Amino acid sequence: MRKSTKHSEVAGELANLKGTVRIQDIIDAILRIENFKTKTLAGMISNAIYDPNEVGVVAIDEIWVDMTYQRIVRLKKLINKLQKMNGFDPYSAGVVDIAIRPSGKKFCWDGLRRIIMAGLCGLTHIKTSQLVHKQFMTDTDCQKEEARYFKSRNADNENMKAEEIFKSEVVFGDPDAIELLNVFKNCELDVEGLNPGGTSMGGFVEVKNNYFRQKDGISEEYFIQSSRIIRKVYKEPVVSGYLLTGLAYLLMKNEDVDMSYSEEEITDNLQNYRRFNPKQSDLIKGRLAGNARASIAYLITRRALNDNNGLLSSIGLDEETMEVIDQAA
Please, is 31 exposed, middle or buried when counting C-beta atoms within 10 Å of its C-beta (0-12, 13-18, 19+)? middle
pLDDT in tens, the chain (329 residues): 778 899 999 999 999 999 999 999 999 999 999 989 888 888 777 777 888 899 999 999 999 999 999 999 999 999 988 888 888 888 888 899 999 999 999 999 999 999 999 999 999 999 999 999 999 999 999 999 999 999 888 876 657 789 999 999 999 999 999 999 999 999 999 999 999 999 999 999 999 999 999 888 999 999 999 999 999 999 899 999 999 999 999 999 998 888 889 999 999 999 999 999 999 999 999 999 889 999 999 999 999 998 776 888 889 888 888 888 887 76
pLDDT given at position 30: 95
**Where among 113, 131, 157 does a domain terminate?**
157
Is residue 192, in this structure, part of any structural domain at all? yes
Provide the whole-model pTM. Answer: 0.79
CA angle 165, 104, 91 (to 5 degrees): 55
Domain check: are 76 and 121 in the same one?
A: yes
Is residue 197, in this structure, part of any structural domain at all? yes
pLDDT given at position 251: 96
Domain check: are 45 and 181 in the same one?
A: no
Instruction: Read off the CATH number of the domain in which 132 is found.
Output: 3.90.1530.10
Distance of alpha carbon 226 from alpha carbon 300, whole angstroms: 12
What single string gives the DSSP state of each residue in 3-69?
----HHHHHHHHHT--SEEEHHHHHHHHHTSTTIIIIITTT-EE-----TTSTTEEEGGGEEEETTT
Domain check: are 42 and 129 in the same one?
A: yes
Distance of alpha carbon 329 from alpha carbon 325, whole angstroms: 6
Is residue 168, in this structure, part of any structural domain at all? no
pLDDT given at position 158: 56
With DSSP H G I counted as helix, E B as strand and the rest as coil, what are the percentages for the chain, rounded to 5?
Answer: 55, 10, 35
> Shortest CA distance to 118 belongs to which of 132, 107, 128, 106?
128
Domain check: are 85 and 149 in the same one?
A: yes
Domain check: are 191 and 69 in the same one?
A: no
- Per the structure, the complete domain to which residue 266 belongs is given by 175-328
SS3 assignment, position 136: coil
Domain check: are 42 and 186 in the same one?
A: no
Is residue 163, in this structure, part of any structural domain at all? no
Is residue 200, in this structure, part of any structural domain at all? yes
**Order of strands, edge to edge, in the sheet holding 63-66?**
20-22, 63-66, 106-110, 96-100, 125-132, 57-59
**Where among 125, 157, 189 does a domain terminate?**
157
Domain check: are 186 and 84 in the same one?
A: no
Is residue 169, in this structure, part of any structural domain at all? no
Domain check: are 260 and 196 in the same one?
A: yes
Domain check: are 47 and 149 in the same one?
A: yes
**Where among 99, 127, 157 does a domain terminate?**
157
SS3 assignment, position 127: strand
Domain check: are 122 and 238 in the same one?
A: no
Backbone angles phi, psi at 309, to 5 degrees: -100, 0
Domain check: are 250 and 284 in the same one?
A: yes
Is residue 215, in this structure, part of any structural domain at all? yes
For strands 189-190 and 199-201, give the pairing: parallel
What single string gives the DSSP state of each residue in 195-251?
STTSEEE--HHHHHHHHS-TTTPPPHHHHHHHHHHHHHH---SEE-HHHHHHHHHHH
Domain check: are 141 and 52 in the same one?
A: yes
pLDDT given at position 316: 86
> Shortest CA distance to 300 belongs to which of 288, 284, 289?
284
For strands 45-46 and 96-100, give the pairing: unpaired
- Number of structural domains found in the chain: 2
* Rg for the chain, CA atoms, rounded: 24
pLDDT given at position 156: 61
Is residue 95, in this structure, part of any structural domain at all? yes
Q: Give the contacts of 162 (CB within 8 A, at least 6 positions apart).
A: 204, 205, 208
Give CA separation, 118 vs 10, 22, 85, 112, 147, in Å.
19, 15, 12, 10, 23
